[in-house]
C-alpha cells in the first residue's frame, strides 16, 4: 500500500511547501523515508505558548491516508492534551475504530480527507485552547484548571526552552 501513500505524502509536502500555513513548517526528516516527518509549530499568538517554536515528529502508517499518523512533540511541553512523553492526544489523530478516552464520536476522528496541514492546525488550536475534558497529562490539566498563573509560568519556560535560549 505504500505506493499510494507515498504519492499522497508527496502531494501534501508539495502543498505545504508552496502554501505554508502561518507558523507551520513540515516536511520529511529525510527524503529516504517519506513516512517520518518533522514539523515546527509556532505557539499561537495571545496564548501562553506565544513565541515558542515547538518541534514535533509525525510518523505515518504504510496505509496512510486510511490510517492516521502519530504525532509526538520532541521538546518538553506541559499541556493537558499532550502526554508527558510528547504524544499528542487529539481526536483527529484517532482512527475511527479506537477510542482511548471513550468519549469521542467518530465524526471527530480521523478520515482520509484530513491532512497534515489540518492536523497541525488542530494542534495549534489545541495549544491555544486546551481541552481538559480528555486530559492526557493529568497534572497539566489540573494546573491549567486550578492554577492558571502557574500554568502560564510553566508555559513561558517551555517557550524559552523551545527557542534554545
Partner 1 sequence: MSLVINMPALILERLPLPSLQTYISFSVVMLGLASFYAHQTVNTILNFNPDNQIQEELGLPQELVNITLPYDRDEHFLNMVYIMRVETWCIWTLVNSCYCLLILFGKLIQNVVFGELRVIEKQHLKDKFWNFIFYKFIFIFGVMNVQSMEEVVLWLAWFSGLGFLHLLTQLCKDRFEYLSFSPATPRYAHVKLLSLLLVILLTSGVVLVGCFWVGINISLTIFAFLAAESLLLILKCLYVVVRYIIQLWDMSLEGVWESRAMYVYYTELIFELVSLSVDFSHHLHMLLYGNIFLSMASLVICMQLRFLFYEFQRRVKKHKNYLKVVKEMESKFSMATQEDLEQNSDDCAICWEKMESARKLPCGHLFHNSCLRSWLEQDSSCPTCRTRLSETTERDGRNPGAPGVPNMAEGIVAPVNPATTNHFFHFDGSRYVSWLPSFSVEVTHTNLLPGQQAHATQTSQLDNMAREVQAVFPHIPQQVIMEDLRLTRSVDLTIDNILEGRITVPPLAITGSGHQRNDSHSSISGSSTTSEVSSLASDSPRVNNIPLNNLDNSLQLTEGSSERIRQSENQENSYTTTGGRFSKSATERMSMLESRKHLMLEQARRRYQEMHENQEGASSSSVDPPLIYTTSEHLRQIHSESSTLSTQEDELSRRRALLLQATQRRLERQTD
- Considering the complex, what minimum distance in angstroms separates the CB of residue 44 from partner 1? 5
Report the distance separating Cα 156 and Cα 30, nearest Å: 31
List strands edge to edge, sheet with 70-73: 24-30, 33-42, 53-59, 70-73
- For partner 1, the closer of residues 44 and 69 by Cβ is 44
- Considering the complex, what minimum distance in angstroms separates the CB of residue 161 from partner 1? 11
- Residue 156 contacts by C-beta under 8 Å, 6 or more apart in sequence? 48
Residue of 41, 82, 89, 90 marked catalytic: 89
- Is 48 annotated in the active site? no
Give Cα 64 to chain centroid, integer Å. 17
- For partner 1, the closer of residues 72 and 117 by Cβ is 117
Give Cα 82 to chain centroid, integer Å. 9
Nearest Cα residue to 9 out of 41, 40, 35, 32: 35
Cβ count within 10 A of residue 73? 22
- For partner 1, the closer of residues 2 and 86 by Cβ is 2
- For partner 1, the closer of residues 83 and 128 by Cβ is 128
Residues annotated as part of the active site: 89
Amino acid at each position: 500500500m505504500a505506493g499510494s501513500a507515498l504519492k499522497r505524502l508527496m502531494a501534501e509536502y508539495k502543498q505545504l511547501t508552496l502554501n505554508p500555513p502561518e507558523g507551520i513548517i513540515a516536511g520529511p526528516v529525510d527524503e529516504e523515508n517519506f513516512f517520518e516527518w518533522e514539523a515546527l509549530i509556532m505557539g499561537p499568538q495571545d496564548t501562553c505558548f506565544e513565541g515558542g517554536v515547538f518541534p514535533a515528529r509525525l510518523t505515518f502508517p504504510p496505509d496512510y491516508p486510511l490510517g492516521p499518523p502519530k504525532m509526538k512533540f520532541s521538546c518538553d511541553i506541559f499541556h493537558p492534551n499532550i502526554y508527558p512523553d510528547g504524544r499528542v492526544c487529539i481526536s483527529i489523530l484517532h482512527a475511527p475504530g479506537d477510542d482511548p478516552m471513550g468519549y469521542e464520536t467518530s465524526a471527530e476522528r480521523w478520515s482520509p480527507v484530513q491532512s497534515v496541514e489540518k492536523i497541525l492546525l488542530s494542534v495549534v488550536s489545541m495549544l491555544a485552547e486546551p481541552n481538559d475534558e480528555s486530559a492526557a497529562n493529568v497534572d497539566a490539566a489540573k494546573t491549567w484548571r486550578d492554577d492558571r498563573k502557574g500554568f502560564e509560568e510553566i508555559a513561558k519556560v517551555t517557550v524559552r526552552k523551545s527557542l534554545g535560549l
